[in-house]
Amino acid sequence: MPIKQEDNELKVVESFVISEDISDRFFQFIDRYLFCFEQQSAILDNILIEFGDSSALFINVLGKCFWFYEEHQNEPKLQTAYHKWKRFMSIAYGSFEDNI
Burial class for 18, CB neighbours closer than 10 Å (0-12, 13-18, 19+): exposed
User: What is the Cα–Cα distance from 89 to 11, expressed in whole angstroms?
Assistant: 28
Threshold 0.75, pTM exceeds? no
Indicate whether 4 belongs to any domain. Answer: no
72 and 50 in a common domain: no
- Answer whether residue 2 is part of any domain: no
Amino acid at 39: Q
Count of other CB atoms within 10 angstroms of residue 69: 13
47 and 19 both lie in a single domain? yes
Instruction: Tally the domains of the chain.
Output: 2
Tell me, yes or no, whether 39 and 72 share the same domain: no
Question: In terms of Cα–Cα distance, which of 39, 45, 42 is closest to 13?
Answer: 45
Per-residue pLDDT of the chain (100 residues; tens, 9 = 90+): 566 767 777 777 777 677 776 666 777 777 776 776 667 777 787 788 888 888 888 888 988 988 888 888 889 998 899 889 888 888 888 877 776 5
